[in-house]
Every structure is written in C-alpha cells, then in structure tokens.
Structure 1
C-alpha cells in the first residue's frame, strides 16, 4: 500500500494551526455554495424575468417561466446532494486506500453501480427507486472489492498505480457489458443511454426523498471515521499500536463511501472526477487531517457540481450539456496533472 502524508502529531506547531482560519474558510465555502445555488435557480438555458423568478420562488407556478424556475429548485438540490456525496466519498476512498488517484469513477465503482442498475432494469423489471438504489449500492460494493483484490495481486500490494490501472480496466469492461445488456433491449435503450451520461436535469423532490436517507447514513459513517482515517495515514502497524481497529475503520469508511457513490449513481447516473478533484483542492486549504478535510470536501463537492450544472446550461444555450460531461472536461486534465506531479507514489 502506498505511503501517505501523516496528519500532524498532537502538540506540534502544525497541530496548533489556527482553527478560526479553517472555520472562516468553511463559512466562505458555504457562502459560495449558497451563491451558486441561487445562480442555479435563477439562471438557465431560458431567460426568465426577475418578477417571474420572484413569483416562482414564492410558490407560484403560473405560466411557463414560473414553472421553469420551479423545476430548477429540485434540480439544484439534487446537484448539491450528489456533489457533496461524491466529494465526501472520494475523500474517504483516498483516506482508506492512501491512494491519490482514488475516485469512484476512476476505480470503476460508479460503473459497477451502473451495470447493476441497467441489468436490473433490463432483465429483472427493476422499477422502484428504493430497489434501484439498493441494487446500485450492491453493484458499487462488489466492484470496489473486485478492483481492490485485482490491484493487490503481485509484489507490492495495492499500490496507487495498480489500483488505478485495475479500476480503469474494470471500467472499460463494465462499460462493454452495459452496452451488451442494452443493445438487445430497444425498449430501455433510450432511457439508459440518457441516464448513463450522468446528470441532474431529471431531479425531483420524490427522487431526493428516496435517496436522502442513504446519503445521510453514508455521510454519517464517513464523517465518524475521520479520526480513524487520520491514524490509518500513519500506517497500519502504528495505527494498530495506538489502539485503532484498522480493519473496522477501513471497512466502515469504505462502506460509507460505497453507499454514497452507489446511491448517487442510482439517481444521477455515473458522474466522474468530482471525488478526485475536490479532496485534492481541499487539502491545499486545510491540509491532510480528515476532521477538516471531510467537511470541506462535502461543501466543495456540492459547489463544484452545482457550478458545473450552471455552466452546462449556459455554454450551449438554449440546449444543455449534462453535468457528467462538464465534470469530465474538468477532471480529466486534473487527473493527468496529478499523475505527472506525484508520479502516483503517494497521497
């Protein structure tokens, strides 16, 4: 397993770094997210006069303009929830594996969830939202285990490079399986093809209500694992010597991350690179300690996905670009930068 930067030891100058600055940073990120949410509600592919926007935000849905604004509200909420879940799951995966390239998309977890959902829809009549979410979580979990086992084979164990290669190869294979499942089924092909791109345009209050309990549980598990992830960064042997149940912490954090990305994928389709980009940017602000990194990743992921959705609606007006395409355009160059800069040796 790859080495990682350890969190500062208690009593050191780094450990005494001023908390108020981080609190202000968290507040600033929350304010930026609020501004992006307002922009997401008020700006779109269709220009709506301000009086119509105010009326729609007040609960009125008379006329096409007000209905358009009202539809943006659940879309914005879904973007916030999905981005927060993906940012948090990426940070947790990187902490568990001590792998700078860990991301639900790169490791194939999202694609595993997608294959499970597509197979369930095509051959088992999967229809209810709750069943779809459970199926996606199961597919994500099975893929995460498979990629880790493959990446652990050979000398050196699960290095960042081997995990990234195993995840990339698994993603390609699963994508081919999805095509093989969908091609004979013309009745579901259009629905699956649109969902497979990854987007929040179909967000509804009903979908949010269905997925919210899963996201809450996954987020709680990941956030409660923060101290354990800090100790894992010291190495398994030292963490065990300090009284940490290494297997329990790693399993719990991994499970929380899988629930987050699986449930999100069930509702939005596979959206990549959010869990890669956000934790790296947040480390530049708050360092490697997970007690601060995880909350920052929550807000950072929500802000990034909301901003990507707004950009996707504006750059091709009056058409739209799905948020999964926008995040790929942002994340792919960032992935190459990380590989070149860190040479995939360490976090």
Structure 2
C-alpha cells in the first residue's frame, strides 16, 4: 500500500468477533485503533493482545457509534494524520486486499468522497435473521446515495467535515454520506467484498430491536436531511402506523370486518414481497420467510420513529438502541 492508512474499529462486547476483526487487520501495515464502548467481556484484553491502540469511552456520556468512531479518528490524529481512514465495526472482518483496493480507488478518482464495498454475512444460512442481513447488504455497485459504517475516505476530508455527528444514535453513517455528497463528491460502492459480518442473530427480539433502531434512524436522519428516507418513512407511516391504528379503531367501531381487511392487506403485501424475492433467486421457503420479516418490520420501524419523536418532544437524551 502506498497510502498511509489508519483503521478505526469500534465495538462493545464483541468477544470472538472482535478477535476475528483485529486478526484481519494484522499484516496490512495500517495503524489500528480500537474504541470500546463499555464492554464487560474480554474485548479490551483481546484488542491489546492484538497490538491495537485502545481507547475506552467514558461511560458518563451516552455511547454511540458516531462518538466511538470520532474518538478513534482523534487517536489516529494524535499519532499523525493518515492519508486515508477505514472505519469498521468490531463484528466484521476485513476482506484481504480491501485496504489497497479502496485506497487505490480514492487515489484514482478525486470525485469519490467515500468508497465502500459489499458487506457479506459469515453464516447467512444459519438463521432467517442472518439471511435477511445478507439480502440487505448485497446491493448493486456504482455510485450510491449512502452506505453503512464500514467505509473508507480521505482523512483530511473527514476532519474538514467535523467527523460523524455524535448526537445521532443510529444512521450516523447515512448522515455523513449525505454531507459528503453535499460537498459535490460521490459515495461509490466497488463490486467486491469489503467486510465479512457476523450477525449471530438467533432471536426475534434481537431482530425487533434492530428494526426499532432502523426506524429511529429513518426519523432522525430524515429530520436533518429532508427528502432522505422519504420512501421508507411513507411505508412505515402507512403499514406500521395508519393501517394497524385503523384496524383497531375500525374494529372497535364497526366490527371484525375492518381488522380482517387489514390482515388481508398485510397478506397481499407479504405475497408481493415473496414474488419479488423469488424473482431475485431466493428459494420458495427462504423467500416466504424474508417476506414475512419485511412485512412485519414496519411495526418495529414505527416504534423507532415514534420513540425518536417522543424524545424530541420531551427534550430527552437520545440513547443507543442495542439489539444484542
């Protein structure tokens, strides 16, 4: 690698996943900082044994991914600003060769502000929730509106933008992408694997909390960037708020025909999603399961959007929504 690259890994109680993450960075020549958000497992010992510079966040302030990534960048800055910084979550392992590929893409095209690749699941077949994450991660390459937290960008540009917005508890990555694009630069996805993610999700409650967090992000980032997440918010308002509320109120006033009609609409939505997934190549059983999660997701998404709005109205502190 010709560019000086710094890597910021963040995590909380990642255990073996963090060990895999840091092992994937060994031998790359990059400066590695690990930022820990109050882990109670052996994450700190794992990071120190791997030779990473460790930053422990003060528990007196709310933990957020944005705060952790900014703290990691500050630690890199103290050691001498790298040319390029790669952010990675502690439950991900970097794919061999990605750092050189990403840095080369930035060097070759000054119009690219953020470069990313595909995140893929280690065990997509293990659970339906893992399969859903794999489906979410794999999107077409090229210029894109935004990407997740696994990303690479020029360190000077990141510093000039003021880093991630530490007040945002989720979808802070989308916010940064939008601010980069506002500078006239592009967010670009290369057609290769960047990181291998270990969702390790086995329970409905975990998936529900993750979907609540997504809904919170739709509302929070949508407020900051009008028009972004507009389609997602419309779907949640229709399917996660208006339809269930109409079914409850209509059922109370007019009888069971109203909630039955609502259930038929949900069934139609599920069938439409199933057909779409089948066209994408999913087998019948997997398509039906993923479609069920897609249909159901509007309810926890709505919970997240409402949670955000209530916190704003009350002036309450935004706190991290964890799903593990």
TM-score range, shorter chain: under 0.3
- Which is helix-richer, 1 or 2? 1
Query: TM-score of the superposition, structure 1-length normalised?
Result: 0.22
Query: TM-score of the superposition, structure 2-length normalised?
Result: 0.23
- Which is strand-richer, 1 or 2? 2
